[in-house]
Chains A and B, each alone.
Chain A
Amino acid sequence: GAVVSQHPSWVICKSGTSVKIECRSLDFQATTMFWYRQFPKQSLMLMATSNEGSKATYEQGVEKDKFLINHASLTLSTLTVTSAHPEDSSFYICSARRGFEKLFFGSGTQLSVL
């Protein structure tokens, strides 16, 4: 089956630094990628929808200047958490979709901001 690689799996950073998370579709071209945020024992909250070559569409309440999304190719999307603060600590998951087929998920990134 299709594979989506997300890197890093976990990251610890100091408050005020920026962190980049990569999401790659390894064996298919992803026309759309989604970024989610998840707190413990809660559901996945859609942050933004990213289409290759165009600006990401952010959900209401998500700061686009805080969470920078780049989808420069059909196999790579990145999420950069700028000037991270402890409240940004969370589990971030990406997913990739080819056309309107089912979604394939990355394994997630646990971000801890000290």
Chain B
Amino acid sequence: TQLLEQSPQFLSIQEGENLTVYCNSSSVFSSLQWYRQEPGEGPVLLVTVVTGGEVKKLKRLTFQFGDARKDSSLHITAAQPGDTGLYLCAGDPGGNQFYFGTGTSLTVIP
């Protein structure tokens, strides 16, 4: 059983469409992070959300942390082919461990 479940697992959309990726857990996190990873490389941090209900925007990406700090979402507006990659949520539920979500593989078709 994964601590952080992401949905959908795979997503293939046309350029210009909008999409939302969800990250859910039964555990409370003091913070959650979102990463994007390219094949053969380490993950790159996109954002950290800390406060329940917090919304952060990074250009066309909008991140939200759930009020109870158990879930988060990533919304991409007008997706571009350059957005293609593996999106991962991650966090430390306490105890100095750091877990990644199950991942969402996004393909944006030109």
Contact = CB atoms under 8 A, between A and B. Distances in A.
Q: How large is the interface on B (under 10, 10 to 19, 20 to 34, 35 or more residues)?
A: 20 to 34
A49 to B, nearest CB: 5
Interface stretch (B42-50, B60-68, B69-77): B42-50
Contacts of B39: 40
Interface of B: 2, 6, 33, 39-43, 45, 48, 86, 88, 92, 96-103, 105
Interface of A: 6, 32, 34, 36, 40-46, 49, 51, 57, 91, 93, 95, 97, 100, 102-103, 105-108, 110
19 contacts: A34-B98, A36-B100, A40-B39, A41-B105, A42-B102, A43-B2, A43-B6, A43-B100, A43-B102, A46-B98, A49-B96, A91-B40, A97-B98, A102-B45, A103-B45, A107-B41, A108-B40, A108-B42, A110-B40
